Structure 1
Amino acid sequence: MRTKDVAYQALLNRVRDGKGTHEDWLLLRTRVIGIGLHISLNEPPWNEAPILVYRNELRTELNNRAVINKAYETGRSPTVVIATDTIKAKKHIDLPDLTKRLLALSDNKTEHLPGYLPLVPGMPVLLQENIACEIGLSNGTLGIFHELIYDETKEHTTSADEGIFTADTVFVRNAQYALVELRKSKIKNLESLDPLIIPIPVIEKTFEVNLEKLYADKGPIMKILNSKKLKTTISVKRRGLPLVPAYSITTHKSQGQTLPKIVIDLNMPPGMVEVASAYVPLSRVQQLTDLTILQDFSINALQVKPSKGQIAELNRLSVIFKQT
């Protein structure tokens, strides 16, 4: 079982059932920065702890900033791998900024292949594909990025990429594979590579995109589609690396993992609050002291009653919990 702190385990069981107590709330508040805890996220061990968030968009923004900071700390220019998209359609589609809009899509809408993948040696990454589960290369595996292998053509960009990244960023459109240190890999040494270094290759995935949603900010787009008799949904084949930075991870992606240290926020985003919203991040660590909470939160986060569907999901998580 993941948790070795008996009191914390009892707290988790109550949160799981939506029965968090006032005492549980007070105990967790001792881990809130500035209230019961006086630490810096810029210092060890918390500067290496992933931030768990609920939204993919926030995760991407935090990761982009963290990679840029890491690059400057190590005296390097940030490198960004740009995925290659091929639109599969009978008719040519000529819409403004279509390529950029596709690349900017969150990877949870693109079969988990990011359009822009910022990288710098020494950064944590998360594998997004089951490459070879039998040897430990499975979806959700954490690793450390070491090197990008690509054709020698390097492309410097300016404002062409909407200012998402800094002006000195090196953009690579012809990546072949990434060398990643995977400590959980069952392959300990490959010829000509350092121990635990595994090449993660570029892969291809196909996904569908609704053009009406993609251009929701452009009202006249439907007139263009109708005038050209184009379908509102297109199929896109993407070629890219199945990796994302892991400075920040979604709570969904963290399911089933035991993490040494984490930083979380128990203030839920707008929309339906599910019991797993609090239970999943809280149960990623083995003891209370492995957890830091960004800001104060309401006791309501610990008292969400699970529905029948949520109970089934929590039972599934419980099985994973006991196996890790």
Structure 2
Amino acid sequence: MEMGLTPIVCIAQDYIQGKPVDNLRLRQAILELPDNKTEHLPGYLPLAPGMPVLLTENVASENGLSKGTRGILRQFVYDESPEDVRYQDKNFPPNTKFITQPKYALVEFPGCKLDDKLLDLESKMISIAVTEQTFSFDTKELLPANVAKAAKINKKTTKLSVKRKALPLIPVYSMTTHKSQDQTLAKIIVNLVMPPGPLKVASIYVPLSRVKRLEDLLIIRPFEFATLQIKPSTAQKEELKRLDRIAQNTRKRFQFIV
């Protein structure tokens, strides 16, 4: 079934010891985990035709379909399920349609290296199927304080192994500095207000260097000028010196080779 105009959210399917998570509180807590704690498979995946998406795993690296590749969602195919009506979330509009049985998504990847069409699909159109990943979830925060304390004293684990089935896609309206590495973007909006903690040169250099022209860069809000004055750490300086020595030795060794 194709999506209509109703908001669509694809719900990941989570399993513990081979069984679906049926405890509502536990299920909600696992679904709300950030994707960097679930092997990059989101619990909630909002979908709309034409939206930009990002692959979260290597599908066919040799053909340019690897983790971090940008694409455009063109169609979403799924099965209807009685489970769909059980999900309600205040973070989404009341008329949101929740999907628990996705089959695949058709995504257009402009940078795909496949020269031929796949079956009857248009060029650069790839079918992205549901995938599986396993991650751990610590139930400590869901347990009463005395139970969590007793588990710690008795050295009993409060972690669960969760297997998730979901589409390996995330919306790409925004991304972290880490995920933007190695990408050249058309236009970007950057937030240079840094979170608490130690800052690194890459935290500033990477987002500011994603575009080719200054006019394609917009800094979203005021920031501390000191942010631009971050200097490389001692370890980074030593690494740069090491690489420079290697480069010099290489030039000396192969100076007569054309």
User: TM-score per shorter chain, which class?
Assistant: 0.7 to 0.9
Q: Which residue of 1 aligns with 2:228?
A: 302
Match of 2:185 in 1: 259
Instruction: Note the alpha carbon deviations across 1:265-306, whole angstroms, 9 max, x for none.
Output: 111112222221111100111121110111122210111122
What is the CA–CA distance in structure 1 between the aligned matches of 2:22 and 2:95, rounded to whole Å?
A: 30
Looking at structure 2, the residues matched to 127 and 287 of structure 1 have their Cα atoms a distance apart, in angstroms, of 26
Partner of 2:247: none
Distance 1:96 1:225, change over 3 A: farther
Q: Kindly state the Cα deviation for residue 153 of structure 1 after the two structures are TM-superposed.
A: 3.5
Partner of 1:205: 133
Counterpart amino acid of residue 120 in structure 1? A
For 1:243 and 1:274, locate their aligned partners in 2 and report how far apart those are by CA, in whole Å.
Answer: 28
Q: What is the alpha-carbon distance in structure 1 between the residues aligned to residue 110 and residue 98 of structure 2?
A: 28
| Number of the residue aligned with 2:31 | 103
Deviating beyond 3 angstroms after TM superposition, the runs of 4 or more aligned structure 1 residues are 92-96, 152-158, 218-221, 223-226, 308-315
- Give 1:308 deviation, angstroms: 3.7
User: Corresponding residue for 2:248?
Assistant: none
Q: Which amino acid aligns with 2:132?
A: E
Aligned residues: 237
Residues in 2 aligned to 1:220 and 1:120: alpha-carbon distance in whole angstroms: 45
Paired residue type of 2:12: A
Q: Give the TM-score, by structure 1 length.
A: 0.66
Matched residue, 1:134: 62
**Aligned with 2:111 (options 163, 184, 203):** 184
Change (3 A) 1:247 1:232: same
Read off the aligned partner of 1:80 and give its amino acid letter: V
**Alignment RMSD:** 3.1
- Classify 1:314/1:106 alpha carbon distance in 2 versus 1 (closer, same or farther; 3 Å): farther
Cα separation, partners in 2 of 1:121 and 1:94, compared to 1, 3 Å: closer
Shift, 1:161, TM fit: 3.3
| Most deviating of 100-109 and 188-197 | 188-197
What is the aligned-residue identity percentage? 49
Mapping 1:1-324, distance limit 5 Å: 76-88=5-17, 97-153=25-81, 157=85, 160-188=87-115, 189-212=117-140, 214-215=141-142, 219-220=145-146, 222=148, 231-310=157-236
> Please, what TM-score do these two structures have when normalized by structure 2?
0.82
1:76 and 1:84 mapped to 2: Cα distance?
A: 24
Residue 66 of structure 1 corresponds to: none
Q: Gapped runs of 5+ residues in structure 1?
A: 1-73, 316-324
Q: CA deviation at 1:309?
A: 4.3
